[in-house]
Structure formats: structure tokens, C-alpha cells
Structure 1
Amino acid sequence: MTNIHDIARLSGYSVSTVSRVLNQKNYVSAKTRADIEAVIDKLDYVPNAVARNLSRGATLTIGVVLPHVDHPYFTQLLHGIMRAAFAANYHIVLLPSKWEPQLELKYLEALRQHAYDALIFTSHGLPLQRLATYQRYGRIVLCENPHDYSLPAAYAERTATYVEAFTYLKHRRHQRVAILTSRPLEASATTKAMVSAYEQVYQRALPTELLYTGIITAEDGARAGTYFAQLTEPVTAVLTNGDDIAVGMRRAYLAAHQPVPFLIGQENQLSGEVLGIPTIDHHFETVGARALDLAISEQPQSIALPAELIINH
């Protein structure tokens, strides 16, 4: 395999001079550059990108760990990450995890072996304590509040907006309020924030039958709607975890010929605007862009971006 030493030998110039030409450096005369480039063309030489990255101590590649892309939380984060990466001339590698700890450990070990300059965890199955132990091998950035762990993070500050949403429902005299989330209470910071906000506003525990998890798509929303529509004591309002999910829930109620409860969506999707329902915009594209900025910087900081309750009319 042709290498830089072959080019130096055949061109008659030093390895350092050949290196300057290959790396588009100055201080090389036009004749010297032309001579060396002629040998490069003759040998059809292409620099080894892996070796070049190792020599400069960076891969210019960021791994993004995400369980799936079936919910706008992940797609919006990803849009923001990729937009910022393109602007910074970084490459993005998608690392699907399905929240499986062993897969996440595999990606952490790849970081340890310098396959990536950093990992961005949009969500995780491993505990934060385990993620933190890999910081010495490279940057690890979260898309959630790191709390007591010194991990850089960019995330939406959701709690205050969830409190605002439940207060809005309470003022409208809704007492029987259900919550839809993607993951169980014990596994999800988002679910904990939603339930905590409910309990803060209503000053009581959320009845277990009013928390429905495993909701990711509009079809899941329809499944939840079928469940709630057949309850003996109906719900009057639902905080869903997506505008499209609210659409699915509404469809199930209409199919069951039941009055549709008051719905609040999330992620400010076009479907919510068309329905005219309130929604919570977490500005996840901005969160993703800030997460990428943290991944390529040396700033060990946490950036909390406020969410926004939007009342569509």
C-alpha cells in the first residue's frame, strides 16, 4: 500500500515537504507542489483518514445514542444536532440503543477506544452514575438534567411548564386528568416531572389508572384512547406526550362515540395547530444544537432551556 514515504522517495522531496502538500499548507513553492502532486496522481494515493485523525487526536465524529426515532422528541433533537454538526464540520453517527444497557456499554467502550470524540445521549437505559465513569475517555453529553452528576447537558426545563399546564386545566375545572408518557415512572425523568407537576398542582397523588405509559406513536395514542373511553368514571382532560398522539386519542374516542376529553399535546406539531389544542413546545431542535456545541467544546456546563405552553385558538 502506497504511503507518504513512497511519495517522498519517488518525488525526491522530504517527508515533511510531502506532508505540507497533502495538508494544503503554505511555504511550498509552486514547482515543488506540482512535482509532488504529479507523483500523488501517478500513484493514485489517498490519505488514510483514520491515521490522520489519530495523528491529530480527533475523529471529528460524534456518536448520538438514541432509542428510536418514532417520537418527535428524538427527531427534533436529531435535527438540531445535525444542523449544528454540519456547521461545525463534524460527522454524526447514529447509535440505536432501544434503552438496552449492553448496547449503551458497547458505545461507551467505543468512546474509550477513541472511535468518537464524544457521545450525546438523547436518552439512556444505564444509570447516570455508570455514564459518568466513562467521562475520562471522552465527552459525554446528556439531553436531560444531570442533577448531582458533573456531566455536561443541554435540556428542556419541563417542570415549570408542566405545572403551568396542570394549573391551566385546574382553572378550567378539570379534576379527572390523565397523563400519557412513553416510559414508566421509575425509568423516565420526563414521566417523573409530569406526575410531580400534577401532584404539586392538585395536591394529591395521581391515581394509578390515570397514568398510561408505552405511548410513542399516534397508534399508541389511539390505544390509550380506547382504554380511557371505557372507564366507568371518565376523564375530562388528558396531558398527552405529543400532538400526533392527541390526534390518535381523539380518533379512538370518536370511534367509541364518546365525548372527547380536553387534550393538551406536546412538541408543537402541525397536527396540534390544526386541531386547535394547547401544546407544550420544548424547543428540542435548539436543545439538540446546544448539545452538539457542548460535545465539541470543553465547557462542563449544563444548559437549561425553558419550555413554552402554547394555547392555540
Structure 2
Amino acid sequence: MATIEDVARLAGLSRTTVSRVINDQPYVTEEKKEKIMDAMHQLGYVPNSSARRLRSQRTETIAVLLPRVTNPFFGHLIEAMEREASEFGYQVIVCQTHDKKQKELDYLQLLKTKQVDGVIMASLSNDWKTIEPYLESGPIVLCNEYMETDQVSMVHIDHRQAAYDATVHLIEQGCSTIAYATGSQETHITCERKLGFQQALADFHLPFDENLEIKDALDVKDGQKVFAFLQQQNKKVDGIFTGSDEVAAGIVYAAAQSGFSIPEDLSVVGFDNQMISLLMVPSITTVQQPVAEMAMKTIQVLVNKMKSSQQQHEQRFVYPYELLKRKSTERISLKESASS
């Protein structure tokens, strides 16, 4: 097996010069670089990447913090991030926080102990004052999550406006008693969506009933529980906005099992345009995010930060979303077609 000394001997240059080229260091002429690369090719010499990373104190690894990989949205996000990161020579490790504050901080220690070069936070449970000190150890970029600070770059949609638009759609379809099913109350996104939901009700002079806010609804089984909960309420709920297509699918399924008609008896809106929203009968109205584009931009922003030796200006990239209107909310069009 060829060694660095063999490369130096064949190229007619010093071991130090060969080492400089291998580690992308300056002060080596293009002519010498070509000689060294040619010698490496002839000998089949492959640099020891682990040793190179150790010398440069880089791991070429990115940590992505997210609540749970079983959510298809985060699965698609990670897949797109991994593809883009590999284009820059980085690998991605997935860190599930389950929306736990301490678990989030435990994973941020990877940055502090130099086990990763940068961190992407696709969920955020702690307040920014708690996260901020970790910036001293390396770059952090928020994806999907956001907050009011100029100390970190962010890539996201406007979750508050998306929730507002979805709720207004329910109201325009004739819903007047609308429930809200949310995930963990520890994240900033759920707070933003709740504000959008409340604003839509207020703009149309509808009350916000705290008893119709169902928390910690995350998957299909939780959606079934949400429907059972709504059935126990004295008020007749005729619409519901959920923060997940999985939850929305559970509600639609449970409603069908109970003889309910969707959307005539209950209109349902999901979030993220997961495949299940299209496969359910009826298909589920949902909010679509440009997942791949957001993932690629996040990786690009983080890689630029990791490779730059200078302080960079923090940026916020707000991507457009789309409310996909489907059968689970088409009350008015159904009534119009029936009367014609």
C-alpha cells in the first residue's frame, strides 16, 4: 500500500509539500499540485480522511435536531438534507428530541465537544437565550422553526399565516364551531400556528374556546382520540384545524367508523401534504411546504458558515406555502352541486 513518502518520492517533492496539498493548505504552486496529484493517481494513494479531519479539527458531520423521524415531513426533510450535504462532502446524523428541552440541549453538546461541525434545528423547544451560548462552539441554522432574533439564520414558511389561511378556509366553508388539534406546546411553531388560528376566529367574530384545543396530538391514533374527545363535547363542532396530516387522517377514519360524513358533519384540515392526506377518503385539505427547497437552502447556508473564517450576516429565508383544498372541506361546492 502506497504511503505519503512514496508520493513525495515519485513527485520529486518533500513530504511536507505533499501534506499541504492533501490538506488543502496554501502556498503550493499549481505545477507542484499537478505533480503530486499525478503521483497519487499512479500509486493509487488515498489520503486517510479520518486523520485529515483530526488534523483540521473538522468532522465533516452535520447534526439535525428534529422531534421524531416517524413524522413523514421530517423524513422527507432529512432525505433532501442528506442528498445536498453529500454534495459538499458532509454526512448527516439525525437527533430525535421528542420535543424535550433537556434532550435538545444534550444533542447541542455535540457542537460544544466538536463532534459535529454544525447543527440544524428543525424543531426548537428551549427559548433562544438558552440556545444562544452554543453559537460560540459552531454555526447553527434553524429550518422549519423560527423566532424573533437576528443572531441565527432561518429557513421556513410563515406558520402563523398558514394557520390563519387554513382556519379562514374552514370559516368560509360555513364552519362556526372550530376545534384546534396541536402537537407539543413546547415548540415555537405550535405557538405561531395557534396565534394564526386565534386571529382568524377573531377577524370573523368567532370565539376561541379553550375547551376545544386538544394538545399533544401527533399521529393517526391521536387523531382517533381527538374525534372521540370532540364527540364528548356539548357543543357541536363542525370544523377542526390540525397541525398534522396524520392527526387529520385519524379524525377522518374515526368519523367514518362512527357514521359521520366528512365534510358535511365535520370539515377537517391537515398540515404538510403527506401522502396519507391524498390517499384518505375523502382526501384531506392541507398546507403544503416546499420541503426539498427548504432542506437544500438550509444545508447551503450552514456549509457556507462552516467553511467561512469570517463572521457572516445572518439571513432569513421565508418560503411560500400552498393551501391545497380537497374533499375534506368542500362543503359549499357540495351543496351547490346538489342544488343544481
Regarding TM over 0.5, the answer is yes
Structural mapping, 1:151-170, within 5 Å: 151-170=152-171
Match of 2:269 among 228, 252, 264: 264
Please identify, of 296-305 and 19-28, the stretch whose mean Cα deviation from structure 2 is larger. 19-28
Match of 1:309 among 309, 323, 327: 323
Q: Percent identity?
A: 25
Cα distance in 2 for partners of 1:128, 1:172 equals 39
Return the letter of the residue paired with 1:200: Q
CA-CA distance at 1:29 after TM superposition: 8.9
CA-CA distance at 1:47 after TM superposition: 4.5
Equivalence for 1:27: 35
Cα distance in 2 for partners of 1:129, 1:222 equals 37
- Sort the Cα spacing of 1:105 and 1:201 in 2 relative to 1 into closer, same or farther, 3 A: closer
* Unaligned runs of at least 5 residues, structure 1: 41-45
Equivalence for 2:192: 193
Equivalence for 1:146: 147
CA-CA distance at 1:285 after TM superposition: 2.8
Cα distance in 2 for partners of 1:171, 1:34 equals 68
CA-CA distance at 1:277 after TM superposition: 2.9
Cα distance in 1 for partners of 2:267, 2:152 equals 39
- Sort the Cα spacing of 1:264 and 1:99 in 2 relative to 1 into closer, same or farther, 3 A: closer
TM-score normalised over the length of structure 1: 0.84
Cα distance in 1 for partners of 2:227, 2:99 equals 26
Cα distance in 1 for partners of 2:49, 2:87 equals 20
* Unaligned runs of at least 5 residues, structure 2: 25-32, 306-311, 328-340
CA-CA distance at 1:18 after TM superposition: 4.8
Match of 1:292 among 291, 299, 317: 299
Figure out how many residues of one structure are paired with residues of the other and give that number.
302
Please identify, of 78-87 and 302-311, the stretch whose mean Cα deviation from structure 2 is larger. 78-87
Equivalence for 1:59: 59
Cα distance in 1 for partners of 2:326, 2:231 equals 24
Backbone CA RMSD of aligned residues? 3.0
Residue 83 of structure 2 is aligned to residue 77 of structure 1: no
Cα distance in 1 for partners of 2:4, 2:58 equals 20
CA-CA distance at 1:6 after TM superposition: 9.7
Q: Relative contact order (alpha carbons < 8 A, sep ≥ 6): 1 or 2 greater?
A: 1
Report SS of the residue matched to 1:296: helix
Equivalence for 2:235: 233
CA-CA distance at 1:309 after TM superposition: 0.7
Residue 290 of structure 2 is aligned to residue 283 of structure 1: yes
Q: Is the 8 A contact 1:212 1:224 kept in 2?
A: yes
Report SS of the residue matched to 1:26: helix
CA-CA distance at 1:182 after TM superposition: 1.2
